């Protein structure tokens, strides 16, 4: 289960904005990785309604648009925190959370109106979610190593 969710459905413009934010985070420390693209594509395509005027993911991923975003673009705090969580997941998708990614995601948090304390809570939820994905693996040594890396 995703670490944060909201009962308020995302509108198409919000999905596109979140996807663009995720793509922005993926580019922060170089070219986006395959892991990042899979995560971003999965988010976008799970939200997109084929044939209902949704832009193709490939064309969206090829844009160089830096999204202008504000807290007012989202109906509630749950949507804003979910957007932040998806960006954090992209930052961690390649196995590292670089200082540039941290700076980029914290900047997004400020624009979304998420304060530092809540940022830390959302980050902890994302880390827990990521570790839970590995919990089913038989190799506990690797899980411990990943847990140490996540902090």
Q: Which residue has the higher pLDDT, 10 or 144?
A: 10
User: Which pair of tokens denotes residue 113?
Assistant: 């109106």
Distances (CA, A) of 21 to 44, 97, 130, 138, 143: 12, 16, 20, 35, 29
Contact 4, 82 (CB under 8 A): yes
Residue corresponding to tokens 């892991």: 35
pTM of the predicted protein model: 0.83
> Which of 79-83, 91-95, 130-134 is the most confident on average?
79-83
pLDDT confidence of residue 67: 82
The predicted pLDDT at position 133 comes to 66
99-111 and 116-134 helices, crossing angle to 10°: 120
**Domains of the chain with CATH codes:** 12-150 (1.10.3680)
Percent of the chain whose pLDDT exceeds 90: 46
pLDDT class for 1, splitting at 50, 70, 90?
very low
| Cβ-contact 27, 98 below 8 angstroms | no
More confident residue, 26 or 143: 26
User: Which alpha helices (DSSP H) does the chain contain, by range?
Assistant: 12-27, 34-47, 57-61, 77-92, 99-111, 116-134, 140-150
Q: What is the pLDDT of residues 11-29, one digit of tens each?
A: 999 999 999 999 999 988 8
pLDDT in tens, 43-89: 999 888 766 789 889 988 888 777 889 999 998 999 999 999 999 99
Tokens 């594509």 locate to 41
């Amino acid at each position: 289960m995703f670490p944060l969710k909201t009962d308020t459905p995302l509108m198409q413009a919000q999905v596109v904005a979140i996807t663009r934010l995720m793509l922005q985070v993926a580019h922060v420390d170089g070219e986006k990785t395959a892991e990042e693209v899979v995560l971003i594509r999965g988010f976008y395509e799970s939200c997109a309604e084929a044939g209902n005027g949704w832009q193709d993911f490939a064309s969206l991923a090829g844009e160089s648009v830096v999204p202008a975003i504000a807290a007012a673009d989202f109906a509630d705090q749950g949507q804003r925190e979910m957007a932040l969580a998806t960006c954090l997941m992209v930052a961690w998708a390649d196995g590292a959370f670089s200082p540039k990614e941290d700076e980029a995601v914290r900047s997004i948090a400020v624009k979304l109106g998420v304060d530092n304390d809540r940022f830390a809570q959302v980050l902890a939820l994302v880390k827990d979610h990521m570790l839970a994905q590995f919990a089913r693996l038989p190799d506990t040594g690797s899980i411990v190593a990943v847990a140490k890396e996540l902090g």
